C-alpha cells in the first residue's frame, strides 16, 4: 500500500519535514508520480517489528530486581 508523505509521517509519528529529509537522503524509498511522493509502507514492517522486540526486551530488563549490594573489600 502506498502512502503520501503526510500519511507516512502520521504512520511513523514523525514530521513531514523529517520524512522529506529521509527521502532525499535515500533512507526511505519513494516514487514520484509527478505531483507527490508515494511511499510503500511495507518497507517499515521489519523496522517496526524490531522496535517492538526492543521495547519488550527493555521492559523485561526493567522488571528484573536490582541485585543486593555485594560487599567488596578494598585492596588498599
**In a structure prediction context, what are the per-residue pLDDT tens digits for the chain, which is 76 residues long?**
899 999 999 988 899 999 999 999 999 999 999 999 999 988 888 878 888 999 999 999 999 888 777 776 766 5
Domains of the chain: 2-63 (3.90.105)
Q: Which residues pair with 37 in a beta bridge?
A: 32
Q: How far is CA 47 from the centre of its chain?
A: 6
pTM above 0.85, yes or no: no
Three-state secondary-structure class, residue 11? helix
Q: Are 5 and 39 in contact (CB under 8 A)?
A: yes
Amino acid at each position: 500500500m502506498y502512502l503520501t508523505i503526510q500519511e507516512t509521517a502520521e504512520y511513523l509519528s514523525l514530521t513531514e519535514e523529517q520524512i522529506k529529509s529521509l527521502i532525499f537522503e535515500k533512507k526511505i524509498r519513494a516514487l514520484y508520480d509527478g505531483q507527490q511522493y508515494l511511499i510503500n509502507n511495507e518497507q517499515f514492517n521489519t523496522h517496526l517489528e524490531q522496535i517492538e522486540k526492543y521495547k519488550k526486551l527493555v521492559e523485561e530488563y526493567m522488571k528484573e530486581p536490582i541485585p543486593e549490594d555485594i560487599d567488596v573489600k578494598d585492596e588498599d
